[in-house]
A and B are shown apart, each in its own frame.
Chain A
Amino acid sequence: MSLDPDFRHGCVELIHGGGGRAMRRLIDALFLQAFDNPLLRAGDDQACFQVAPGRMVMTTDSHVISPLFFPGGDIGALAVHGTVNDVCMAGAVPLYLSAAFILEEGFPLSDLRRIVLSMAEAAREAGVAIVTGDTKVVERGKGDGVFITTTGVGRLPENVSCSVARVAIGDRILVSGCLGDHGVAILSQRENLEFEADLRSDSQSLHDLVATMIAVDPGLHCMRDPTRGGLAATLNEIAQQAQVGMRLRENAIPVRQEVRAACEFLGLDPLYIANEGKLIAFCAPEQADALLQAMRSHPKGRDAAIIGEVIEDPRCFVRLRTGFGGERVVDWRSGDPLPRIC
């Protein structure tokens, strides 16, 4: 029997994680070819690379998503984008990634190949090299197809220091684009809900947008990508960490019409919906206009907006001036978003 993986009809088997020839051939035929770079090709158990003097940043993230393929992306690209963006949010230049796969016995090799090629493409686009990795296989029923953990390393320019510790009263709050695209695209697939609109995930690496922003304002105070829990969770987290309040203007927050419509239909609030290709930035008020202009000049920041400012508030509330003229608190979400009954 051939041990070469059959990428048309084959499935992941326990033997692919067993440390024997079958595993080696899967790694050679798939991962090495897709991610090909000198460090990976060296074949050692670790990647050895030269670093420039200065500060490095490192982050790690596990990616678990259902469905694995969705409009606008898949778990592979997402695993790259998520970690690259976490590196970028420090104002750093992403350099290297590791990738660990937990595969479920029975998962089609054709789908695995699709995911890995998508990862490779996303890494190339973000200018990072996947230099080390790992593969494990769990028995059928003990996984959810594929889980991917990626760790990212990047280099921080000398004059950059993006941190929640620098968020200050008076800071302006900017978002890079329309909110909720990713979460609604996933939800529409997961729940078999059919929307007429073409909703696609915003999954993308923000390395180039961040570079543009840093060039204009190297003193940028803080950046975060509003992933799980959306804008609301991210701002509440920062408000708590920095012990400040925030005031937002609902009319200024960009949300695509299709996303608003889908959220209306499901009884959800776009402020709480996940994003995978957007960022929130905090900057000194005098930098805000220049930063906004720079963001809007970049394709990934075309719909950027100044959505509010940091205020003094010992209770650390995020408040929203509604388009209707009232004010409300934007609180943390409790549990998963649940659709309304009637």
Chain B
Amino acid sequence: MKYIDEFRNGDYAAEVARRIHAEADPERRYRFMEFCGGHTHTLFRYGIPDLLPANVKMIHGPGCPVCVLPMARIDAAIELAVRHQVVLCSYGDMLRVPGAHRTSLQKAKSQGADVRMLYSPADALRIALENPQRQVVFFAIGFETTTPPTAAVLLKAQELKLRNFSVFCNHVLTPPAITGILEPAQQAGERIIEGLVGPGHVSVITGGGAYDSLARRYRTPIVIAGFEPLDILHSILLLVRQCNAGRYDVENQYSRAVTASGNAKAQSMAARTMTLRDSFEWRGLGWMPHSALRIRPEFADYDAERRFELSPSEARENKACECPAVLRGAKAPTDCKLFATVCTPDNPIGACMVSSEGACAAHYSYGHTR
């Protein structure tokens, strides 16, 4: 398959792995965090950790939109579907995430709520047009990658003057999340990672320049990587080289898709429709200032949080669940007592076990560690 097979070639992989082995200093340790859940998934799916020297370790970061959404927001989505009886449109992975009392959108659906899985926010708009008598809400989640499509439907809904469509906005931002991980360690005078495999799809929108100040402030090299296994392996080699040279630059390994300034049109659409929240709660990272987006007042008619009264959530995380520490890279999934015992993909307790891009699900499904 053109453009894919080239990035999965076992011979190239063996060559890059040889270089990593040759260049990694046996006296040093190299802890690299892959920010994106997509990278975590690729690492496991292709068995990349098997190819790395023992002192090069990958640590999973918070870059899975499903995993970082706190339970309270899931409860709010369930409330929209159950109490307000809207047609709740959601991306597939969100359906199985447990909210309070171990309920989920999927369970609400089986009990009669109108919950629909979709691939694109445009489908939610279509459902609203086809069902003028029903209120239709799009459960918008994700990092900078999924924000522009949400912005596009907000603009379209306004253009069409739709009265039965709104968006429950949960879009979050990457740079504050990286800050949320690196700042506490910096303040404590610790180093938790030696380098960061930077987000790929997010950077297509934001541009590589979005991370320059982070790399400098935390003296941490960042290599923006594509999602093919060879992309990641190559990015690890570039990080090893930066560490060895004592550099902390932003390098763009994913140059076939990512530019320095990103996608201006997508950025502009997001800016027209959404603005920074003062603060937003992240699972694992807590409340972080200016880390998420809300819908601008000009689009208030399409803001589900304004249109519907939502109750405070009673959600309580399971105290034994280590998802928060896993999301910060402070613990490995296998450090959690619930991992592979109580918490499995068939019975997920924490969000990291639900999403296929979650660190726990990837460890469980692909790992040798059970």
Contact = CB atoms under 8 A, between A and B. Distances in A.
A342 B367 CA distance: 23
A325 B20 CA distance: 15
Contact of A340 (B45, B46, B356): B356
A341 B95 contact: no
Interface string A308-342: 00000001000000111111110100110011111
- Sorting the interface of chain A by its residue count into under 10, 10 to 19, 20 to 34 or 35 or more gives 20 to 34
Residue in A193, A260, A269, A325 whose Cβ sees the most chain B Cβ within 10 Å = A325
A323 B47 CA distance: 10
A261 B93 contact: no
Nearest to A320: B47
Contacts of A158: none
A338 B93 contact: yes
Contacts of A331: 345, 364-366
A328 B145 CA distance: 29
Contact of A342 (B10, B46, B47, B146): B146
A191 interface: yes
- The main secondary structure of chain B at its interface with chain A is helix
Contacts of B51: 324-326
B38 A342 contact: yes
A338 to B, nearest CB: 3
Contact of A327 (B96, B201, B368): B368
Contacts of A159: none
Interface string B55-68: 00000000001100
Interface in B79-96: 91-93, 95-96
Nearest to A334: B345
B49 interface: yes
Contacts of A328: 44-47, 366-368
B65 A322 contact: no
B143 interface: yes
A257 interface: yes
Interface of A is mostly: loop
A335 B353 CA distance: 13
B50 A341 contact: no
B143 A342 contact: yes
Contacts of B1: 257, 260-261, 264
B217 interface: no
A339 B119 contact: yes
Given A260-B1, A324-B8, A338 B92 contact: yes
A193 B122 CA distance: 13
Contact of B10 (A315, A325, A329): A325
Contacts of A326: 46-51
A341 B4 contact: no
Contacts of A329: 365-368, 370
Nearest to B146: A342
Interface string A253-264: 000010011001
B95 A324 contact: no
A261 B230 CA distance: 18
A324 B66 contact: no
B357 interface: yes
A51 B4 CA distance: 55
Interface in B280-327: none
Contacts of B271: none
A263 B328 CA distance: 30
Given A323-B8, A324-B8, A331-B365, A340 B143 contact: no
Given A331-B364, A342-B65, A325 B117 contact: no
B14 interface: yes
Contact of B119 (A193, A251, A261, A324): A193
Nearest to B42: A324
B48 A341 contact: no
Contacts of A193: 119
Contacts of A322: 10, 45-47
Interface string B331-349: 0000000000000111000
A338 B356 contact: yes
B198 interface: no
B229 interface: yes
Contacts of B47: 322, 324-328
A191 B116 CA distance: 12
Given A191-B119, A193-B119, A340 B93 contact: yes
Nearest to B364: A331
B370 A315 contact: yes
20 contacts: A193-B119, A260-B1, A315-B370, A324-B13, A324-B51, A324-B230, A325-B51, A326-B49, A326-B50, A327-B50, A327-B368, A328-B46, A329-B365, A331-B364, A338-B93, A338-B96, A339-B91, A341-B65, A341-B93, A342-B145
Given A260-B1, A331-B365, A341-B141, 8 more contacts: A251-B10, A260-B4, A264-B1, A324-B46, A325-B13, A325-B50, A341-B92, A342-B142
**A-B pairs with lowest CB-CB distance, top 9:** A326-B47, A338-B92, A334-B345, A326-B50, A342-B145, A324-B46, A328-B366, A331-B365, A341-B91
